[in-house]
Amino acid sequence: MAARTTRRKTREGVVISNAMDSTVIVAITETLRHAHYNKILRRIKKLYVHDPDNRANIGDRVRVEETRPLSKLKRWRLTEILEKAR
């Protein structure tokens, strides 16, 4: 029997809110070039991330991983803090 090799999505972003208990909001920034006008566009997606130990603070760069639904909006969990805010 082969082991499961399902890959979970991972993203890196910046914590923009930690007001909730065991939840942080992480902003993922995506830059792309417009197909016709060649202008650089910046799209920001907010992810609700499970942080059970309340380790992340505003401004921290974090890595998050996709997981099963934990609440109405939470679908991601904190895997590591890459850089603490200054």
Question: Tell me, what's the pLDDT at 40?
Answer: 97
What is the distance between the alpha carbons of residues 45 and 35, in angstroms, rounded to a whole number? 20
Q: Domain 10-83's class?
A: mainly beta
Q: Where are the domains of the chain?
A: 10-83
The mean predicted confidence, pLDDT, of the chain is 95
Closest CA to 47 of 78, 74, 83, 8: 74
pLDDT at 2 over 70: no
Contact 14, 64 (CB under 8 A): no
